[in-house]
Amino acid sequence: MIKRPTQVVTSDLSFGESMEIDLGDITAELYHVESPHSEDCVCILIPQERVLFIGDAVGVDYYNNCFLDKEKLRSLITSIEGFDFDICVMGHAEPMSKDNILHIMHSLLERQENV
């Protein structure tokens, strides 16, 4: 195996708050949201399917001693509440309902506030 030096290149595509991608019969709506997990979180809504992909948005900040920023979690909850979807797909869990993901997030916030 030939080892080559790693080359980092800039993205060909970037966007501000949101971007819409036409995929033919469906549309992917990308939204930057504040998240306790990272500074560059993007959620993807497929409105025709009523599905929201949030990846690891609910996770802790591994680069900051697994800190969970309550204000960023509150902001994420507000963003999630504002999306019109039925099914949420997280990075490391089975798909779940909007009510279920919001219940989990509110429970996590309550535990953090009691610490």
Tokens at 23, concatenated: 């995929």
Band (pLDDT 50/70/90 cuts) for residue 30 is very high
DSSP assignments along 19-45, one per residue: EEEE-SSSEEEEEE---SS-TT-EEEE
Higher confidence at residue 32 or residue 11? 32
CATH of domain 18-113: 3.60.15.10
Residue with tokens 């501000």: 16
- Which residues, at least 6 apart from 36, have a Cβ–Cβ distance to it below 8 Å? 57, 58, 59, 60, 61, 67, 68, 69, 70, 72, 73, 76
In percent, how much of the chain has pLDDT > 70? 97
pLDDT(57) > 80: yes
For residue 72, give the H/E element and its range. helix 70-82
Band (pLDDT 50/70/90 cuts) for residue 18 is very high
What's the confidence (pLDDT) of residue 115?
63
- Which residues, at least 6 apart from 18, have a Cβ–Cβ distance to it below 8 Å? 29, 30, 31, 32
Question: Considering the entire predicted model, what is its pTM?
Answer: 0.84
Band (pLDDT 50/70/90 cuts) for residue 17 is very high
What integer is the mean pLDDT of 72-88?
96
Name residue 62's amino acid.
Answer: Y
Quickly count helices (H) and strands (E) in the chain.
2, 6
